[in-house]
Structure 1
Amino acid sequence: MIKVGIVGSTGYTGAELVRLLTRHPHVELVGLTSRSYVGEHYWRVYPHLKNYTDLQCEELDLPRLVDRADVLFTALPHGHSMDVAREVLSRGKKLVDLGADFRFRDQAVYESWYRVPHTAAELLPRAVYGLPEINREALRGADLVANPGCYPTASILGLAPLLAKGLIDPGEIVIDAKSGVSGAGRGFSLKTHFAETNENFQAYNVGVHRHTPEIEEQLGRLAGRDLTVAFTPHLVPMVRGILATIYTRPAVLPDRDELYELYADYYREEPFVRVLPPGMLPQTKAVAGTNHCDLAVVPDPRTGRVIVLSAIDNLMKGASGQAVQNLNLIFGLDETTGLVFPGLYP
């Protein structure tokens, strides 16, 4: 059994990790840390997990937790995983970080967008960006994985076939994305207060969202050149889900069937990417609770654009589900282990 500890287990991504890992046939949970619920049984914090784990939340004692675990997941705010990573790797163990601390090759990019010093910059070249659909081989056996952000996951999967084939202008990409409120985490804020969010729809962090450089770095790798995207996120009154509508400009506009075949062929062997046939469009409810990404690609002859639509569950393929997929790859398991189930509908 793979012994797993979770640092920061009582946020939404931590809870989703616990939900998945308690059902994983090759995992034993050995430690769940929390600053707010030390000594509480985990199921008292999240009652839906009663009878699935009897672990109590514990204060972080990193050396002791590393001794017990083969791999740690960190589900922490940015800036808090650096010291954890250094300790874990120095002890010969593995780390999957669900935060942003190891997603960038360039320390200066991280520091300019996240406004904190990177205190473990020597580990950045060692980190593998954890999007299996573009980085699978590098993830096998990796000891430090930077789990992607939710918006980048939806955006990169939506654009990868077009950029990899060189069919669109890399300088003409517009990403308009909508997310449910769980993406903001479990902490209390006016923005996610029920009375502020219900029956409301708002853009936020226009032009300055911290996922922008992450999207640009990974798309630039696919395109073989630096690029800049226009990215605007929106908050919608639902709990789970991201829907990204992506506008691109091709040199020559393919027809509907050509685009479908391009995407279907590119993702043919991918267990969690579903390319919808012409006439069907992604919807967040169809992926809720699953590790799937649903894609559709539509030509717009009137404007000469190709429009891509990408839907994921921000807590699953956008966070914890993808982290478990990465765990499977790290330890040489079938990457779908513990992740094959349909979502809830309606």
Structure 2
Amino acid sequence: MNKTQNTFITSSEFTLFLLSSFIGIGILYLPNSVIKDARQDGWIGCIIGAVYPLYILILSNYTCNKFPNDDVFGLSKKSLGKILGSILNFIFITFFIFVTSTELAGLANAFKVYATPFLKNYQIFLSILTVTAYTAYKGIKPLGRLCKITFYLTLILLLLPVATLKYGSYLNLMPVLGSGFKNILISSKETTFFYCGAEITFFIYPFLENKKKLLKYGLISTVITMSVYTWFVFLAIYYLGIEISPKYLWPILTLADSINIPIINSFRYIFVSLWALVVLRCISIYYFSSCYGMNRLINEISPQTFTLILYPIVLFLSSLYGPPTKRRNYTDMVMSFYLIYNLIYISLIVILITFKKGGSFEKK
């Protein structure tokens, strides 16, 4: 977990690391978020929403070129002073703690409905959180390898719903652009919540072996994510239609019902179980980010120790969200705040390091 341990990640590991931070439990209900405003054009909103991570990547690449060995936490203190910088850093860190807890609660909700209804919430929380905490404890390099291994599983799960093309109707997608450009833009704002995660690049780039390729490989992960989001929303609209899709809590899981495999009664259970590994990887990344961020805030406590300190905090926060619909309402409200805050926080630091020049600033 520490740069001083000569821990670095390759460009491909960085790509998969960033890709894993994008794709979590939210993709299972993403279609309903965009259909609400853009109707049959919801898949177009997924493409426009990619502007947010693209903006974050451009700023992180610029920052990396100017200060390749300083992450956002150090630059914040340099630019704004130790006290104000630490306060803003703490708020930024709480974003990752929040996402860790809401992803954990979302995965538990899906498991309760489709896989393990006989288990209580705290039992699911404990089992998942223990694994993710252990993964975060091991550090960024093992986490990068985990992202690499589960990437192939993700590819399989993304390709399986193609079976829905046999049963859906292209009429569900018509007329293209019929919802109006204004509504499409509104829906793209909803997708920015699902693109949150690009902020990780601001404290990951010091770990990169080849920092010059940050933008290139960051763009690759963004394009892949955009393609996945667009693909799943397209399939949900094509298969279910804009009237039926909102009736399901997780419309993407409904696509799994179209997959018919001999001997297997319901493929949905298998799909949920395999997708849990993908979400587990996502939670591990945010848990690691939370622990690393807290270590940069309080250097006297190691990141490994913070994996133990944050464990009961994340467990408690996850228990507050309640059922799926209630959790999504909370998540939407809180994510709106963090989205605005992250944009202002990151943009402010980039502006300050652009105009603050001189030897004293460089040596801080």
> For this structure pair, what is the TM-score category when the shorter chain's length is used for normalisation?
under 0.3
Bigger share in strand: 1
Larger RCO of the pair (alpha carbons < 8 Å, separation 6+): 2
